[in-house]
Structure 1
Amino acid sequence: MVNGLRVAVIIGSTRQGRAGGAIGQWFTAHARRRDDVEVAVLDLVDFAFPARYPDEPTPAMRRFAAAVERAEAFVVVTPEYNRSFPASLKQAIDAAYDEWHAKPVGFVSYGLHSYGTCAVEALRGVFAELHTVTVRDVVGIDLLVDAERRTESQARAATALLDQLVWWGMALREARARRPYVT
């Protein structure tokens, strides 16, 4: 495809020893095999967000917001911590606002027993407030079973997620080109 959908894969955990880096790399490799997407990785370990929200955005906040602006769709790779998503991810999400509008978001989640489903459900509400469209299908990974390998079922789930993301992303790209999104 000449103009593949610009998809940002956001790796949301910054903990030492996290599984998110490897899971994000697996998903990114899967996505890059497609000819209808252009993938960029936004790994939150590469952003030095401030401990407190400042009066003026920091360079890291501006760099993240600019990357969100460039992207036309997102896949958030998130763990489930305490039935929700990590604070590092919320901090990054809050570094942008208008830049998220009228773009689709998909999720790759992981956790123990739950596949990270509570984190995804919490994020759906956050992204609704940012005027995004969240896609239905997710990739869920149970770290007790699938810690070191990705299964064929997960690959099929990743394909379904990307198919939905591309459909919404292209539809919203065309809509934004015809008429600016208003809040």
Structure 2
Amino acid sequence: MSEHRYRLAVIIASTRERRFAPVIANWFTRHAESHTHIDVDVVDLDTIRPYELRHGSEEFESYAKRIDEADAFVVITPEYNHSFPAPLKHAIDLLHPQWQAKPVGFVSYGGISGGLRAVEQLRLVFAELHATTVRETVSLPFAGNLFDDAGRLHDPTPVAQAADALLHQLTWWAVALREARTTRPYGA
């Protein structure tokens, strides 16, 4: 499996005060790290502060390098008013070639829709950047009810199965697209 090892950037989209995102991100990150062929890099937009990034600054270059070095992405996003958070859009728009020809998966949460309306809009954004979104997702409706106070899922099996399906698809695309970019650099 070592030839199929790859770097997965897990992007935490929510920056709101008292956000639930860290609970989901901690669970998903632990789950992804149990797949020994995946190296996880957690990119928390609350720490990155995309609105404060300035081209040429050390912080900007560090963020750009992390995105560039990733072979694949999982965006953990809430749904706010039928969409995704504004800081996520800004963080995506700051870069362009770093996203190209790389796969993107989604873990979403929200009310009854489980964040799927945010995911549908993100698919359009990433398509414009020449990224490939995978079909499988992890959707968590009323996520606060799914976890206990220690951040453990009450019933982990269906969510773990969805995460495994997502990671399986992401792995195929990550390895295939990395090989393709190595053989023939992508030009949009």
Does the 8 Å contact 2:51/2:87 carry over to 1? Answer: no
The reply on whether 1:78 has 2:77 as its aligned counterpart is: yes
Question: C-alpha distance in 2, partners of 1:118/1:61?
Answer: 29
The reply on whether 1:108 has 2:107 as its aligned counterpart is: yes
Write the deviation string for residues 21-58 of structure 1: whole angstroms up to 9, x where unpaired. 1101100000000122111100111113336x86x454
How many equivalent residue pairs? 181
Does the 8 Å contact 1:83/1:119 carry over to 2? Answer: yes
Alignment of 1:2-13 (within 5 A): 2-3=2-3, 4-13=5-14
SS of equivalent to 1:100: coil
The reply on whether 1:38 has 2:43 as its aligned counterpart is: no
SS of equivalent to 1:135: strand
Write the deviation string for residues 112-166 of structure 1: whole angstroms up to 9, x where unpaired. 1110000000000000011011000100001264254433111100000000000
Question: C-alpha distance in 1, partners of 2:32/2:147?
Answer: 20
The reply on whether 1:179 has 2:178 as its aligned counterpart is: no
Question: C-alpha distance in 1, partners of 2:139/2:49?
Answer: 28
Question: C-alpha distance in 2, partners of 1:36/1:147?
Answer: 27
The reply on whether 1:47 has 2:48 as its aligned counterpart is: yes
4+ aligned runs moved over 6 Å, structure 1: none
Question: C-alpha distance in 1, partners of 2:145/2:59?
Answer: 36
The reply on whether 1:66 has 2:70 as its aligned counterpart is: no
Does the 8 Å contact 1:49/1:60 carry over to 2? Answer: no
TM-score using structure 2 length? 0.91
Write the deviation string for residues 97-122 of structure 1: whole angstroms up to 9, x where unpaired. 10000000000000011100000000
What letter corresponds to residue 30 of structure 2 in structure 1? A
Aligned residue in 2 for 1:166: 171
Does the 8 Å contact 1:64/1:92 carry over to 2? Answer: no
TM-score using structure 1 length? 0.93
Does the 8 Å contact 2:103/2:173 carry over to 1? Answer: yes
Identity of aligned residues (%): 49
Alignment of 1:91-102 (within 5 A): 91-102=90-101
SS of equivalent to 2:64: helix
Question: C-alpha distance in 1, partners of 2:37/2:89?
Answer: 29
Give the unaligned 5+ runs of structure 1: none
Question: C-alpha distance in 1, partners of 2:56/2:46?
Answer: 18
